[in-house]
Chains A and B, each alone.
Chain A
Amino acid sequence: MSSIAVPRQRERNVLAAAFGFVRYHVLTVYSLLFFAYLLLPIAIVVVFSFNHPVGKFNFTWQGFTWDNWRYWDGIPGIRGAIILSLEIALIASVIATALGTAIALALVRYGFRGRATTNILIFLPLSTPEIVLGASLLTLFLNLNVVFGFWTILIAHIMFCISFAVVTVKARLVGFDRHLEEAAMDLGANEWTTFRKVTLPLTAPAILAALLLCFAISIDDFVVTYFNSGSSVTFPLFVWGAARIGAPPQVNVIGTAIFVVALTAMLANVVFQRRREVRA
């Protein structure tokens, strides 16, 4: 018996050693390559924002210039598109977060009839392809003869942001210590005061996270907006239009700017969390 078991054991050891080597060295190298792959297109966006293109295509490197940054709104329509995107993202994220927070509170705090149905209603938009979301809203507006523009875009953005807001706030509320609220009530606070003075401050980080997430999703949205914008042009729609005739380097400038702002916000968050962990 043992004479059979020994070579098998040895074979196993070789395999195990190989696996251990892969885990400890190859894996690290692979991961670094992965991050290079992940960041390559971002680097291209940043680098080509400084390109000085000769023709209409910003595809090959021609020479360095600050001009694209200096004249970031030098392309007709780009400034209006950015302003519209910011307006929509700001209003949509505030309204969607308010509606989503209320839903999250109801789902986590109360047992009521229709809870399961509500949960399904929240998850359905998340699992529907964007093109179907956009197309169905388009048919609604077409059939009701609604004029497409600012309001239809805003309605659409609030719609697809609500579910993201609910999911984000819910995750935080589930791990919430309810004794704190009971304590407030025991000390004579009514439900509204308890909500204002205890619940809201404790959920504030989640609400802020939901706001930022909704803002980011809204400002980046192309598909649903494309179906419901009429003749209004948001920044992604501007990029789409520009891409057909060759996107100008100013598009890269705005892309880089959005990237830097988002990255700074997230880095600040990481540092903040690290500090809190150290203190705790």
Chain B
Amino acid sequence: MNFFHRHRGLTPYLLLAPGVAWLAVFFLVPLGFLAYQSLQSGNIDFGYAFTWAWGNYWHAIRDYRTQFVRSLEYAGIATLLALLISYPVAYWIAFRGGRWKNLLLLFIVAPFFVTYLIRTLAWETILSDNGFVVNTLQSLHVLGPSGRLLATSTAVVTGITYNFLPFMALPLYVSLEQIDERMLEAAEDLYASKLHAFLRVTLPLSLPGVVAGTLLTFIPAAGDFINAQLLGSPDNHMIGNVIQSKFLELTDYPAAASMSFILMTGILVAVAVYARIVGTEQLTGTAA
């Protein structure tokens, strides 16, 4: 009899132990340290001491409310844009892709094969002051002669939308692809027009993909600081930029730690509200 046979009940724990221990020590414990740090006061020269300094949280909200709101705003707009842009394409691949489905999906994730920072720099090139986008918009008088796209909120939202688009498109595709086309045939047999079949059958059935895609896009987008740094001006800085500079440039650790927690809470609240809304919509969708 070998060891595994004698201790069958132990096997799962032995398999789990190393990975779970790694996550506990380098994910959970650090979150604890972050919480501990967020309630400290002092400065880098004289050291920090734990003083239940809840003031850090109030100061963070008082001084950086604009950046917090802006983060949720940019992330929200980018998520909505990503949804609107990629839904038709996900639909097209799922129902009309045929034997090319896998290849088309490969195109969808292609941006991920280029280093994140490099593809953001490519947007810097595209939106630059002498680039063809700005020139075209200027000749169409959408932009004034000295108008620019770089260093505006438009550029930042464009960058975020592009960078996280595959996170939206993939779950949408998965949920649309799973729809049994016989359901649509049944709807049409029951005299639903194609439009009604879409609104009453396809759309509600794709909602799980919409929810998953929204969360996968919104969460990283709200914490992002790369797009705001490379494509925006200080007026477009998000809370990620503030956390980053407080941690790595100003070494104001307690402030930065408390902001990280506020960001996490903000995201959780936004997600909860969203789940609430979608939940009821989904209910009315099935009830209709």
Q: Does B288 lie at the interface of the complex (its beta carbon under 8 Å from any beta carbon of A)?
A: no
Residue A71 interfacial (CB < 8 Å): no
Give chain B interface residues in 48-78, CB to chain A under 8 Å: none
Count chain A CB atoms within 10 A of each CB in B19, B194, B256 and give the residue with the most: B19
Q: In the complex, are the beta carbons of B122 and A109 less than 8 A apart?
A: no
B244 within 8 A of A: yes
CB distance from B112 to the nearest CB of A (A): 7
The reply to whether A139 and B34 contact each other, CB–CB distance below 8 Å, is yes
Q: Given known contacts A30-B88, A109-B12, A131-B240, is B19 in contact with A166 (CB within 8 Å)? A: yes
Q: Which residues of B contact A39 (CB under 8 A)?
A: 107, 110
Contact B219 A129 (CB under 8 A): yes
B117 pairs with A41, CB closer than 8 A: no
Q: Which of A23, A40, A136, A139 contacts B126 (CB 8 A)?
A: A40
Specify which chain B residues have a CB less than 8 angstroms from the CB of A252 in the assembled complex.
118
| Closest chain B CB from A39 CB (angstroms) | 6
A142 is an interface residue with CB less than 8 A from chain B: yes
Is A127 at the interface (CB under 8 A from chain B)? yes
CB < 8 Å: which of B15, B88, B119, B225 contacts A102? B15
- Contacts A31-B88, A102-B18, A222-B116: A159 and B23 contacting too (C-beta < 8 A)? yes
Within 8 A of A (CB), among B235-270: 240, 243-244, 247-248, 253, 256-257, 260, 263-264, 267
CB contact between A60 and one of B103, B130, B193 (< 8 Å): that residue: B130
User: A143–B5 Cα gap in the complex (Å)?
Assistant: 43
Most chain A Cβ neighbours within 10 Å, of B9, B91, B244 = B244
What number of A residues sit within 8 Å (CB to CB) of B?
Answer: 90
Residues of the B chain whose Cβ atoms lie less than 8 Å from the Cβ of A50: none
Compute how far the CA of A109 lies from the CA of B195 in the bound complex, rounded to whole angstroms: 45
The verdict on A251 contacting B27 (CB below 8 Å), with A103-B15, A143-B33 known, is no
Q: Does A247 contact B (CB under 8 A)?
A: yes
Q: List 28 A-B contacts (CB under 8 A).
A: A16-B193, A34-B89, A48-B122, A58-B125, A59-B130, A102-B16, A106-B13, A118-B16, A124-B27, A125-B23, A128-B219, A131-B224, A131-B225, A132-B31, A132-B263, A135-B257, A136-B33, A155-B26, A191-B2, A222-B117, A223-B225, A236-B116, A236-B117, A255-B114, A255-B115, A258-B113, A258-B115, A267-B106
Query: Footprint of B on A, CB under 8 Å?
Result: 12-13, 15-16, 19-20, 23, 27-28, 30-31, 34-35, 37-42, 44-45, 48, 58-60, 99-100, 102-103, 105-106, 109-110, 112, 118, 121-122, 124-125, 127-133, 135-140, 142-143, 155-156, 158-159, 162-163, 166, 190-192, 216, 219-220, 222-223, 226-227, 235-236, 239-240, 243, 247, 251-252, 254-255, 258-259, 262-263, 266-267, 270, 273-274
